[in-house]
Amino acid sequence: MQIKRWVAQGFSGLDDFAFVDAELGEPGPGEVTIAIEAAGVNPADLKHVTRGGDPAKLPIPIGYEVAGRIAALGPDTTIASGGGAVGDPVLAFRIYGGYATAITAPAVDVFARPAPLPVEQAANLLLAGTTAAEMLDRVHASAGEVIVVHAASGAVGAIVLQFARLRGITAIGTCGERSDELVRGFGGIPVRYGDGLLDRIREAAPGPVVAALDCAGTDEAVDASLALVADRDRIVTVAAPARARQDGFHALAGNNPDSARFRDGVRAELIELAGRGELVVPMAGSYPLTDAVAALRLVSEGHAGGNVALLPESH
């Protein structure tokens, strides 16, 4: 099968990205070929490249999550959620090369896509969703407690808010001035960034803040977290690993084996919640697959205002 896909031909960043022709072979045992209808765009897609690595591995396919339909199944192969037939709607996460018109992926990473779940949301559900679930799990938050979520209107933060609401946890969500309603709509209490942040969080909180979840990575967010939460085992970041090492709290990363196991284990639950409408992926919009560089630049700079999907021309 002839496909088009985005690859990184070097480690310098977006300037090294290229949209190339490729040949996709038939899926083998335990593999599924997916005709892609939407690909999720995440900052991790660029970070994966700019970390550098072995030049022998170039070119590197880009993209960790997709939604589409089964185009072919390998011999004696069923998908992770069971069954699977050509034409079935699916989504996949922890795959490589999602910025493409089609991909062959391990069947253990492919799940049936619930009919009510829009394809753009499906393509953006699992990276942010599994990260959010792990953050909340790592700080041991439970019903009746108060937590603070930094960058609460972002892709991960908005899902943390929804998990917190489902579990009876009160979440203070720090955000910019244009995101108050989004944070409030997902069950959080919005608090603006900027001078006086710590005092505003304390004023808004209906009780002691017992945990802090940082999706922002700024010194402002980390300093406020350290001031609010005495137990550093209940502070976690996905955006400030250097501060985590310096100040003795948790930094999460999807390539950590423990994180990978946890995230793999919650995928089915997240899909079920999203299929029932209990978990919504906030979307900022979509780009044609040919404009992947512009989409990834927007998302990586933190200005998207929601999730972004790439759509092949055939969709």
- The answer on 295 and 247 residing in a single domain is no
Residues 120 and 204 grouped into a single domain: no
Task: Say yes or no: 41 and 17 in one domain.
Answer: yes
Q: State whether 9 and 69 are in the same domain.
A: yes
Q: How far apart are the first and last CA of the chain?
A: 17
Same domain, 101 and 199: no
Q: Give yes or no: residues 102 and 139 share one domain.
A: no
- Whether residue 36 is contained in a domain is answered as yes
Q: Is residue 263 part of a domain?
A: no
Instruction: Say what the pLDDT of residue 304 is.
Output: 84
Residue 94, pLDDT score: 93
Whether 212 is covered by a domain: the verdict is yes
Do residue 71 and residue 22 come from a single domain? yes
Tell me: do 195 and 158 sit in the same domain.
yes
186-222 exposure pattern, b = at least 16 Cβ within 10 A, e = fewer = bbbbbbebeeebbebbbebbeeebbbbbbbbbbebbb
Is 143 contained in some domain? yes
pLDDT of residue 314: 57
End of a domain among 233, 251, 269? 251
- The bridge status of strand 250-251 relative to strand 283-288 is unpaired
Domain that holds residue 91: 2-124+282-311
Asked if residue 257 belongs to a domain, the reply is no
Q: What is the pLDDT of residues 260-287, one digit of tens each?
A: 999 999 999 999 999 999 999 999 999 9
Residue 269 lies in a domain: no
**Residue after which a domain boundary falls, among 229, 251, 273:** 251
Which among 251, 269, 299 is the end of a domain?
A: 251
Q: Are residues 215 and 237 in the same domain?
A: yes
266 to 46, 245, 261, 263: CA distances (angstroms): 24, 27, 9, 5
Nearest to 222 by CA among 203, 192, 246: 246
pLDDT at 33: 98
pLDDT at site 118: 97
- CATH number of the structural domain spanning residue 142: 3.40.50.720
Q: Do 177 and 85 belong together in one domain?
A: no
Question: Which stretches in the chain have pLDDT values below 50?
Answer: 315
CATH number at residue 16: 3.90.180.10
Does 266 fall in a domain? no
pLDDT, one tens digit per residue, over 170-182 is: 999 999 989 999 9
Tell whether 10 is covered by a domain.
yes
Cα–Cα distance for residue pair 45/64, rounded to 1 Å: 7
The number of domains in the chain is 2
Query: Residue 276 CB: number of other CB atoms within 10 A?
Result: 11
